[in-house]
Structure 1
Amino acid sequence: MSPLRVTQAKSIIDSQEKHRRTVRALGLKRIRDSRVHQDTPQIRGMLHKVRHLVTVEEVSEVSE
């Protein structure tokens, strides 16, 4: 499976506490902040939970 680039697209100010914690657990701190994660079922579940706050794209190589 290819890595996933996760980018925070919206603010977490009015979000539920669970969603805030999930976004922070993904390593995102502010809008337009990105992190690369391996495509695992655990990460996919976290992304599904906060799909309205983040954008996800597959990347062919890991480069920060």
Structure 2
Amino acid sequence: MSNSKIKIKQIASPIGRQSDQKKTLIGLNLNKIDRTSILEDTPSVRGMVNKVKHLVSIIKVAD
């Protein structure tokens, strides 16, 4: 069974955002604009991405 992955890219600054959104970005291994992170496509990661969807873009990575 192969787990799919997603590539998450930060496209906006967390300056002036709520602290929980900043912590969510750190949890996704993002802390500066144009940084990317490749993570497993799990419900917990999807929930974190949904919380900061206005700050990131998502790309599905082919296996």
**1:22 corresponds to:** 24
Alignment of 1:28-47 (within 5 A): 28-47=30-49
Query: Aligned partners of 1:41 and 1:26: how far apart in 2?
Result: 13
Structure 1 residue ranges, 4+ long, deviating more than 3 angstroms after superposition: none
Aligned-pair Cα RMSD in Å? 0.9
Q: Please state how far the C-alpha of 1:54 moved relative to its aligned partner.
A: 0.4
Matched, 1:8 2:17: no
**1:50 corresponds to:** 52
The secondary structure found in structure 2 opposite 1:42 is helix
The secondary structure found in structure 1 opposite 2:4 is coil
Q: Please state how far the C-alpha of 1:15 moved relative to its aligned partner.
A: 0.7
Q: Which has the higher strand share?
A: 2
5+ residue gaps, structure 1: none
TM-score for both structures, normalised by structure 2: 0.92
Q: Please state how far the C-alpha of 1:51 moved relative to its aligned partner.
A: 0.2
Amino acid at match of 1:33: R
TM-score for both structures, normalised by structure 1: 0.90
Q: Please state how far the C-alpha of 1:29 moved relative to its aligned partner.
A: 1.6
Amino acid at match of 2:42: T
Count how many residue pairs are aligned between Structure 1 and Structure 2.
61
